[in-house]
Amino acid sequence: MPNTRYMVLSNPLVPFAIGVIAVVLLLVWLKLPAFVGLILAAMAIGIATPELAFETVPEALAEAFGETMIDIGIPILMAAIIGKCLMDSGAAERVVRAFLSITGEGNSEYALLGSSYVLSIPVFFDNVFYLLAPLGRSMKARTGVKYSLYISVLASGALATHMLVPPTPGPLAAAGSLGVDLGLAILIGSMVALPASLLGGIVYGTFLHNRVDFPLRDAMGSTPESLEEKAETPVEQLPGLIESSLPIALPVVLIASATIADALADQELIPEEGAIVQFTTFVGDANFALTAAALVAAYTFYRLEVQDRELFNEELTEALKSGGNIIAITAAGGTFGAMLAEAGVGEYIAEGLAALGISLLIAGWLIAAVIRVAQGSATVAILTGAAIMAPLLGTLTVNPVYMLMAVGCGGMIAPWYNDSGFWIISEVAGITQAETFQTYSASATIMSVSGLLVVLVMSTIFPLV
The answer to whether residue 144 sits within a structural domain is yes
Tell me the percentage of the chain whose pLDDT exceeds 90.
29
For residues 26 and 302, give the distance between their C-alpha atoms in angstroms, rounded to a whole number. 42
pLDDT 10s digits, 225-269: 777 777 778 888 888 989 988 988 888 788 888 878 988 898 888
Query: What's the whole-number average pLDDT of the chain?
Result: 85
Q: How confident is the model at residue 6 (pLDDT cuts 50, 70, 90)?
A: very low
The answer to whether residue 263 sits within a structural domain is yes
Cβ distance 139 to 146 under 8 Å? yes
The answer to whether residue 277 sits within a structural domain is yes
Lowest mean pLDDT among 173-182, 219-228, 250-259: 219-228
Structure-model confidence comparison of residues 284 and 151, the more confident one: 151
**Residue 464, SS3?**
coil
What is the distance in angstroms between the CA of the first residue and the CA of the last residue of the chain?
Answer: 46
Distances from the Cα of 309 to the Cα of 83, 118, 226, angstroms: 19, 37, 21
What pLDDT is recorded for position 8?
52
Number of separate domains in the chain: 1
| DSSP structural state of residue 302 | I
The answer to whether residue 15 sits within a structural domain is no
Backbone conformation region of residue 58, classed left if phi is above 0, alpha if psi is from -120 to 50, else beta: alpha
The answer to whether residue 100 sits within a structural domain is yes
Query: What are the strands, taking DSSP E only, across 24-136?
Result: none
Cβ distance 364 to 153 under 8 Å? no
pLDDT 10s digits, 415-462: 988 887 898 899 889 999 999 999 999 999 999 999 999 999 999 999
Rg, C-alpha atoms of the chain:
22
Q: Is the pLDDT of residue 1 over 60?
A: no
Residues 6+ apart with CB under 8 A from 39: 61, 65, 332, 335, 336
Domain of residue 100: give its range.
72-164+219-322
The answer to whether residue 306 sits within a structural domain is yes
pLDDT 10s digits, 288-326: 988 999 999 999 999 988 778 888 898 898 888 877 877
The answer to whether residue 377 sits within a structural domain is no
The answer to whether residue 111 sits within a structural domain is yes
pLDDT 10s digits, 343-397: 877 667 666 766 666 788 998 899 889 878 877 778 778 877 787 788 778 878 8
Q: Is the pLDDT of residue 5 over 50?
A: no
